[in-house]
Amino acid sequence: MYSSDNVGRNTIAMVLAGGRGERLNPLTMRRAKPSVSFGGKYKIIDFVLSNLFNSGIKKVYILTQYRAYSLNKHIRESWGKWTGLGEFYVAISPETSSESEEWFKGTADAILQYLRFVESSDADYVAVFGGDHIYKMDISQMINYHRMNRADITIAALEVPVEEARRFGVFSVDDDSRVTAFAEKPATPETIPGRATCFASMGNYIFPTKKLIEVLLEGKKQHEDLDFGKHVIPMMLEKGDRVFAYNFNDNQIPGMKSEERGYWKDVGTIDSYYEANMDLIHVSPQLNLYNYKWPILTNQGNLPPAKTVFDDDDRRGQNIDSYVCAGCITSGGTVRRSIIGPLCKINSFSLVEDSILFENVNIGRHAKIRKTIIDKGVVIPDGTIIGYDREADLRRGYTVTESGIVVVPRKDPAIK
């Protein structure tokens, strides 16, 4: 079921999960971006943690920071329960650690603050991965590539068209994919030798343990806000270290379909988040969540099955072309092309179309909801109409994007 390679036993992972995700407001008003729901039952962070778990890497520190409560709770109640015998998935954050520690000032500074965990491990390699992207990856293949090249750092790279590359940190590489230069959001990105595409950084790195300790301690002397993209990679290139790019398109997982190759989403804005979710309900989505050879794991909860209620001519409970999670009741209403999170209730004569409902949302009778994201625990009163009149939605205080997606935030600050 999982990767047969044993490199995971010699690797620890540090997952950077402290991001605010400001462009996803109001969904990130009270939670970190990695804690935002995706695909109904999952959290965004479940994707990188599933990749590590399925790759055999089961010693993982998750570095949380901004609005860390819900994320720490999710890790503790799901990932923290699944390992043992020296294996662990544990969330740590400056909010709950000793008074001497400060909030992270940069991506590398986050690792530096908890360098004692790296120093005390017996691992040969450290995988430093972000916690806020949607993708599937066998990380053991990247580690093998790193070992083969005797690299000092290996950086996961997306192969993207030149016009897209301007949004990323871009590598210049030689014929062996050794990195010769790195530029942040260049106006004229350099292409891969022999191709019309560029290598863009995914923000995921493999280091030999000793090398990581060395470069972080050295970088600390020069930069208070130590960052991998801004400081560490340029510093290593300047020193002549062996820096290699790993082409994500070469990564294969068991059961992968051709349309999944190279699938990676940032979901950093409301529009991109909405589109990535809506892709899941297509007949053949680019991201296949039904691949049981590479499962995306999460906290399932002890919930009953979803059900529909009523089959009368004037009211019929029905879910059409939709994802509907456990514990949901569609009671005489219609759900069409939507993602319905756990424990939701769709009451009689209501219509939910092209929408995303988080956990425990209640849609009142005769309500009409279209192209709307509704946050956790929200109750929509009877007869409410959302997504049909932009000005009316704005007057209610909802966020409405230029493309017409409405976001209904939760109002109870106690709900996490």
The neighbouring-strand residues paired with 408 are 374
Residues belonging to the binding site for alpha-D-glucose 1-phosphate are: 169, 184-185, 201
DSSP of 13-44, one letter per residue? EEEEE----GGGTTTTSSS-GGGSEETTTEET
Give the pairing of strands 307-309 and 329-331: parallel
* Cβ burial, residue 182 (10 Å; 0-12/13-18/19+): buried
140 and 3 Cβ atoms separated by less than 8 Å: yes
How many C-beta neighbours within 10 Å does residue 406 have? Answer: 23
Q: Which helix (H) or strand (E) holds 59?
A: strand 59-64
Q: Which helix (H) or strand (E) holds 217?
A: helix 209-220
Question: What is the distance in angstroms between the CA of the first residue and the CA of the last residue of the chain?
Answer: 34
Residues belonging to the binding site are: 169, 184-185, 201
Which residue bears the tokens 């109640």? 77
156 and 145 Cβ atoms separated by less than 8 Å: no
Angle at Cα 361 formed by Cα 355 and Cα 364, nearest 5°?
90
198-234 residues labelled b (16+ CB within 10 A) or e (exposed): bbbbbbbbbbbbebbbebbeebeeebeebbbbbbbbb
Determine the Cα–Cα distance for residues 54 and 258; give it in Å rounded to an integer: 20
Residue partners of 319: CB distance under 8 A and separation at least 6:
306, 308, 330, 335, 340
